[in-house]
Structure 1
Amino acid sequence: MDVLGVLNLGEIAQYFSKMAMFPVFDVAYYIVSILYLKYEPGSVEVSRRSPVASWLCAMLYCFGSYILADVMLGASPIDYFHNNSHVLLATAVWYLVFYCPLNLFYKCVAFMPVKLVLVALKEVVRTRKIAAGVHHAHHAYHHGWFIMVITGYVKGSGVALISNFEQLLRGVWKPDSNEILNMSFPTKASLYGAILFTLQETHWLPISKSLLICLFTLFMVTSKVFMTARHSHGSPFALVESWVCHLLFHSPLGCDDSHDHHHHPAAAAPAASPAKTKEELNEGTRKRKSKKAE
């Protein structure tokens, strides 16, 4: 009993849910987001040819979820840019990732142990954004369950949902990479998390918000860190989704569109070695092109 009294999970969860995200967690979010932008094909070339376009892409990676959620809720899409400290911080990260001498900053944050820590901190921010999106929508549309789910979903994965628009800024058009058609694990997790937080907000889930934030953050951090360390882009939901889709929508068992979408035969890794992520494959392609140009 004394141990349970010392380890009061309710108080820990309450403290964790109220912990400030700025600046440490937000910096980690910006670093990982812009790091993934640099992995995209042509992003480095764009940063040399048009820094303005590169900066706009970076801001979409950092604030795309806020922009899309504001548009959905009838607010100005540039409303979040009044947070000067956040914009300046994201801009500083963008400059260091793309223009730091000898690529030192990029090499430091891409170093796997450091990257795993940054990925974990980013998932903390993602969970908080989902919860905040659902709460905001609940305040505006008290009985709009679907609006709460959609807003939380957009807050958690808005960057991926507007990826096609961001690609246009880089001069790339890949409609088959639409995130709705090929949902990645963070996008799926954001949707499921939005449903859970909506149920909690409407008192259908008998759990406190702080405890739900703590538990969902733990799940997201564990899953994303493990997947990043293993160079995997699968999904912990794959088995359950396969059976549910088979029963409800007559989909073939074992079908994983996102896996097929990211694994092209030409870029497939040997069976004995772990599969590389989409970002790492893009980074390898960019480096090979740079060597050929030299």
Structure 2
Amino acid sequence: MENVLAVLNLGDFAHAFSKMGMFPVFDVAYYIVSILYLKYEPGSVEVSRRSPVASWLCAMLYCFGSYILADIMLGSSPIDYFQHNSHILLASAVWYLIFYCPLNLFYKCVAFLPVKLVLVALKEVVRTRKIAAGVHHAHHAYHHGFFIMVIVGYVKGSGVALMSNFEQLLRGVWRPETNEVLSMSFPTKASLYGAILFTLQEAHWLPVSKSTLILVFTLFMATCKVVMTARHSHGSPFTLIESWVCHLLFGSPLSTNEEDNHHAPAAAAPTSPLKSKEELSEGARKRKAKKAE
């Protein structure tokens, strides 16, 4: 990998990319996409009208849940990250604009697909940095605790999803069947695999520099998420490999989501297979608002 980058003269670019600051452009994109997904959740708009404090707390969990969970695991105060006033104020401004901007103008702009694709790509840059930072932080606290490095990196990359049930309670919703551990989404799986890769690199078992790994993993994550968002897909590029591995190691049946949907009864089929969960939730919310009018 290093030789290829040397031939392409990308080594310096990878190093510069790994040192590039995330604040404010990339962080703003992360906050926008995170809170955008919060607004897609059933009942979130109603909560924002009924209890702005609860809505704000949910938004902060969506933006900083990974930091909170990682701090708890490493024995730090869960509110440590809230000392960064600029980040809290920026995320709060994004939350206000998405939920309370007149005529929903800000929401309509950031939900416009071409804009959303750019924001999603920028968010994955932040996710990769968080995974790498989590592994590095755990390495300093537990120098030979490789499993701890993986867990902390995994939490840093997908802590928001892992805390989703707690966030639901703040909105007055309880859906234990949506537990992310039971049914991992692509970002959650990718965060786990990324944490393993960065742990191997931190332990010098992976012959690749950290800057190179950050660049390659960021390109992979951004490309996958942009394609999946553009196609309104919730599939995973890991599905085929995981099905074979699970079949060999755990005796699980070989099946894919497409096969499951093909064999499912017609009555259980979704109303629009081309629409994502977020779009379906948003459509239901709009229909409810029209009926109220």
TM-score by length of 1: 0.93
Task: Work out the CA distance in 2 between the residues paired with 1:8 and 1:139.
Answer: 32
Q: Does the CA-based 8 Å contact 2:240-2:256 persist in structure 1?
A: no
SS in 2 for 1:254: coil
Q: 1:230 to 1:255 in 2, by over 3 A?
A: closer
Question: Where does residue 147 of structure 2 map in the other structure?
Answer: 146
SS in 2 for 1:231: coil
Q: Report how far residue 266 of structure 1 moved.
A: 5.9
Aligned positions of 1:267-286 closer than 5 A: 268-270=270-272, 275-286=274-285
User: Which residue identity is paired with 2:281?
Assistant: N
TM-score by length of 2: 0.94
Q: Report how far residue 58 of structure 1 moved.
A: 0.1
Q: Report how far residue 9 of structure 1 moved.
A: 1.1
Task: Work out the CA distance in 2 between the residues paired with 1:169 and 1:279.
Answer: 19
Aligned residues: 285
Moved over 2 A (4+): 4-7, 263-267
Question: Where does residue 103 of structure 1 map in the other structure?
Answer: 104
Question: Where does residue 172 of structure 2 map in the other structure?
Answer: 171
Question: Where does residue 289 of structure 2 map in the other structure?
Answer: 290
SS in 1 for 2:205: coil
Q: Report how far residue 103 of structure 1 moved.
A: 0.2
User: Which residue identity is paired with 1:194?
Assistant: A
Unaligned runs of 5+ in 2: none
Q: Report how far residue 242 of structure 1 moved.
A: 0.4
User: Which residue identity is paired with 2:11?
Assistant: G
Task: Work out the CA distance in 2 between the residues paired with 1:293 and 1:251.
Answer: 47
Q: Report how far residue 133 of structure 1 moved.
A: 0.2
Give the CA RMSD over aligned residues. Answer: 1.8
Task: Work out the CA distance in 2 between the residues paired with 1:104 and 1:197.
Answer: 40
Q: 1:267 to 1:290 in 2, by over 3 A?
A: farther
Q: Report how far residue 254 of structure 1 moved.
A: 1.1
Q: 1:43 to 1:265 in 2, by over 3 A?
A: farther
Unaligned runs of 5+ in 1: none
Q: Report how far residue 185 of structure 1 moved.
A: 0.2
Q: 1:280 to 1:70 in 2, by over 3 A?
A: same
Question: Where does residue 114 of structure 2 map in the other structure?
Answer: 113
Task: Work out the CA distance in 2 between the residues paired with 1:163 and 1:256.
Answer: 23
Question: Where does residue 28 of structure 2 map in the other structure?
Answer: 27
Question: Where does residue 186 of structure 1 map in the other structure?
Answer: 187
Q: Report how far residue 200 of structure 1 moved.
A: 0.3
Q: 1:183 to 1:286 in 2, by over 3 A?
A: same
